[in-house]
Amino acid sequence: MTEIVHVTPRRRLPVLTGILVLIALAILISLGTWQVERLHWKEGLLADIAARQAASPVPLADIEAMAAAGGDIEYRKVTATGRYINNKERHFFATWRGQTGYYIYTPLELADGRILFVNRGFVPFDNKEPEMRMQGQLTDQQTVTGLAREKLPGKPSWVVPDNDVAKNIFYWKDLDVMASSVGLEKSSVIPFFVDADSTPNPAGLPIGGVTQVDLPNDHLQYAFTWYGLAAVLIVVVAISWFRKGAKTPQQ
User: Beta strands 58-59 and 77-84: pairing type?
Assistant: parallel
Whose CA is closest to 207, among 149, 143, 133, 139?
133
Residue 32: its pLDDT value, please? 87
* Residue 93 near residue 231, CB atoms below 8 Å: no
* Residue 78 near residue 147, CB atoms below 8 Å: yes
* Per-residue pLDDT tens digits for 125-168: 999 999 999 999 999 999 999 999 999 999 999 999 999 999 99
User: Beta strands 99-109 and 142-150: pairing type?
Assistant: unpaired
Residue 183: its pLDDT value, please? 97
* Per-residue pLDDT tens digits for 188-213: 999 999 999 999 999 999 999 999 87
Q: How far is CA 2 from CA 5, 7, in A?
A: 9, 15
Cα–Cα distance, 153 to 150 (Å, whole number): 9
Residue 251: its pLDDT value, please? 46
Which pTM value belongs to this model? 0.77
Low-confidence ranges of the chain (pLDDT < 70): 1-13, 215, 245-251
Dihedral Cα 199, 200, 201, 204, nearest 10 deg: 150
Give residue 133's identity as a one-letter amino acid code.
R
